[in-house]
């Protein structure tokens, strides 16, 4: 089976949306990526760090989905990374209420022996030096995908440029793509990003879908129009998990197959937002995903005879 190496946060989140409020629940980029990718028949491993306060049941939840967590360090006496946020009424923007780095402040990632030759690597949103450290510990995989955010552009620009230069694909949201390139047009932004290193660029537009760029080719995966978005937390990471999980599963990193991968990413993300936190991703079945794939087909496929 293909090996997917995932690096990112495993964390506690406390979320408030117009529909309700949670206590500390399971969160973190790597958690969402891992749960999403576990829909495919692959071996995956999460390199991360948590504190002693992190419940064993959360680690078991990941293990039970065939996710290796031997690379997720448990720091004795340490506290797990915590993020708290409140979404505005339109659910398109949010305020961060609290961020406690805790054990993440001194995170020194260690890739397990079994995953030092992964097929695909998904570098979830983290300090660029942590992402670089992971790449230095492994043999060059078939594909390295990077996710990042504006915080690293604002605070660690040079380090970010170093890691961007080393990856094959970048997933980033539209506002961040504009900030990274100083281009408003996403077509121009993607071209500039490709010049920085990544030959494949995925620009995530939230409820407006995602664009995949490669050379002069473009593919678009819509977001499924939903009656209600309940909690957008983790949707971007779930997208990335679906994207890399599908590519690992199929072993085919051609542009044609990446189209399918972004459709799967969008498919899985459409479930993530239906419930709070990881709740919907935990009870998601293959049948659910296949059924929704048919909805994506109906939503986008057409047969036109030329006029």
Which residues of the chain form contacts with its own copies (CB under 8 A)?
39-41, 89-90, 184-188, 205, 208-209, 211, 217-220, 222, 225-229, 246, 249-250, 256, 259-260, 263-264, 286, 290, 293, 298-304, 306-307
Nearest approach in angstroms of CB 209 to its own copies is 7
114, two tokens: 């079994």
Q: How far is the CB of 186 from its own copies (least distance, A)?
A: 6
Residues 6+ apart with CB under 8 A from 88: 94, 95
Q: Reduced to 3 states, what is the DSSP secondary structure of residue 105? A: helix
**Structural contact between residues 147 and 171, judged by C-beta atoms closer than 8 angstroms:** yes
Shortest distance, position 219 Cβ to its own copies, whole Å: 6
Residue 118 or 206: the one with the smaller Cβ distance to its own copies is: 206
Whichever of 57 and 256 has its CB closer to its own copies, that residue is 256
CB of 20 to its own copies, least distance (A): 17
Shortest Å distance, C-beta 45 to its own copies: 20
Cβ proximity to its own copies, 127 vs 214, nearer residue: 214
The residues with which 213 forms a beta bridge, in sequence order, are 201, 218
The residue among 114 and 288 lying less far from its own copies, judged by its C-beta, is 288
Cα separation, 92 vs 207, whole angstroms: 8
Q: Report the distance separating Cα 5 and Cα 144, nearest Å.
A: 9
Q: What's the min distance (Å) between Cβ of 46 and its own copies?
A: 21
Nearer to its own copies, 57 or 90 (CB): 90
| Cα–Cα distance measured from residue 140 to residue 119, given in angstroms and rounded to the nearest whole number | 9
Residue 27: in which H helix or E strand, if any?
A: strand 25-27
CB 115 within 8 A of CB 5: yes
How far apart are the C-alpha atoms of 303 and 289, rounded to whole Å? 24
Q: Which is nearer to its own copies, 56 or 301 (CB)?
A: 301
Q: From the CB of 266, what's the least distance to its own copies, in Å?
A: 11
Question: What single-letter DSSP state applies at residue 267?
Answer: H
**10 Å Cβ neighbour count for 220?**
16
- Residue 275's SS3 state is coil
Q: Cβ closer to its own copies: 48 or 238?
A: 238
The H helix count followed by the E strand count for the chain is 11, 15
């Amino acid at each position: 089976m293909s090996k997917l190496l995932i690096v990112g946060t495993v964390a506690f989140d406390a979320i408030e949306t117009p529909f309700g409020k949670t206590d500390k629940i399971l969160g973190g980029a790597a958690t969402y990526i891992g749960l999403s990718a576990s829909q495919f028949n692959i071996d995956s491993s999460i390199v991360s760090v948590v504190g002693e306060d992190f419940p064993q049941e959360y680690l078991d939840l990941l293990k039970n989905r065939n996710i290796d967590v031997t690379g997720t360090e448990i720091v004795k006496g340490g506290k797990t990374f915590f993020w708290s946020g409140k979404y505005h009424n339109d659910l398109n923007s949010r305020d961060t209420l609290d961020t406690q780095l805790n054990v993440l402040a001194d995170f020194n990632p260690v890739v397990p022996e079994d995953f030092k030759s992964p097929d695909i690597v998904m570098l979830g949103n983290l300090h660029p030096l942590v992402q670089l450290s992971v790449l230095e510990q492994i043999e060059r995989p078939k594909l390295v995908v990077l996710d990042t955010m504006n915080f690293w552009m604002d605070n660690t620009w040079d380090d970010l440029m170093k890691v961007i230069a080393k990856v094959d694909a970048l997933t980033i949201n539209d506002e961040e793509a504009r900030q990274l390139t100083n281009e408003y047009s996403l077509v121009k932004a993607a071209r500039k990003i490709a010049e920085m290193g990544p030959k494949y660029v995925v620009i995530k537009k939230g409820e407006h879908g995602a664009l995949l760029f490669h050379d002069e080719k473009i593919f678009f995966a819509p977001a499924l129009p939903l009656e209600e978005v309940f909690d957008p937390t983790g949707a971007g990471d779930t997208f990335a998990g679906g994207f890399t999980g599908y590519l690992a599963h199929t072993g085919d990193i051609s542009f044609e197959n990446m189209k399918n991968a972004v459709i799967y990413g969008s498919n899985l993300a459409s479930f993530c937002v239906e419930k709070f936190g990881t709740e919907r991703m935990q009870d998601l079945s293959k049948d659910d995903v296949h059924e929704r794939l048919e909805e994506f087909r109906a939503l986008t496929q057409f047969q036109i005879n030329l006029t």
